[in-house]
Amino acid sequence: MSIVIREVKPVEIGMRCDECGEGMMKLDVTEFGAMVVPAVLPPVYRHKCDKCGAVKEFDTTYPRIIFENHGEFREPDMGDLAEIANSAARC
């Protein structure tokens, strides 16, 4: 076994508001920073438009960051290995 690495590119997935067509839906949180999760199954996540305040529930959260693969796996060089060691120390 050996460690291999590849670059990834972060991509933000947002949900534009249907009501005003301008704002973005943001996960609604209480004044204590807790998610507003209505007591239904399957779970839904309440969102609020940052422009007009429209409220809508989704089965996932927005905005959300995903990582797109960007290239092939390769052997890490010395600099990469130092970074890997540092990241392990932070965990």
**Footprint of Zn ion (CB under 5 A):** 17, 19-20, 23, 49, 51-52, 54
Give me the residue label for tokens 């067509």: 21
86, 55 contact by CB (below 8 A): no
Q: Which is nearer to Zn ion, 15 or 17 (CB)?
A: 17
Q: Which is nearer to Zn ion, 19 or 28 (CB)?
A: 19
Shortest Å distance, C-beta 22 to Zn ion: 6
Q: Which is nearer to Zn ion, 24 or 38 (CB)?
A: 24
Query: Dihedral through CA 30, CA 35, CA 38, CA 39, nearest 10?
Result: -120
